[in-house]
Amino acid sequence: MPHRGGKSVPFFLPTQNVYDVLLESFPNKVNPQSAVYLTAVVEYMTAEILEAASKKAKERRSHLVTLEDITYAMHNDPELKKAFPVTGDGNSK
């Protein structure tokens, strides 16, 4: 769970928001259960990224996770690197 000021802060993404975005892109073609599943996937991936980035921030003895921590984590964690393949110039493969 993300931390703020030493306290755990739950992260959640409203499923209705995801459903609304899906409906904008795919009108009349979205099952509400797909929004629930996609929301869970996004929350899980976000938690994985933040966990890896927070380890890097702790190595720097910082309480804040920076964009550089997130980028470092995504480039150096084998599972994240596989899930989000990005080249050195920031473009996806």
70 near 49, Cβ under 8 Å? yes
Q: What is the DSSP string of 56-67?
A: HHHHTT-SS--H
- List the chain domain ranges: 15-83
d(CA 16, CA 13): 9
Q: Which pTM value belongs to this model?
A: 0.71
**CATH number given to 15-83:** 1.10.20.10
Alpha-helix runs per DSSP H in 1-93: 15-25, 32-59, 67-76, 78-83
Please report, in tens digits, the pLDDT of each residue of the chain (93 residues total): 455 555 666 667 889 999 999 999 999 888 999 999 999 999 999 999 999 999 999 999 999 999 999 999 999 989 988 888 875 555 555
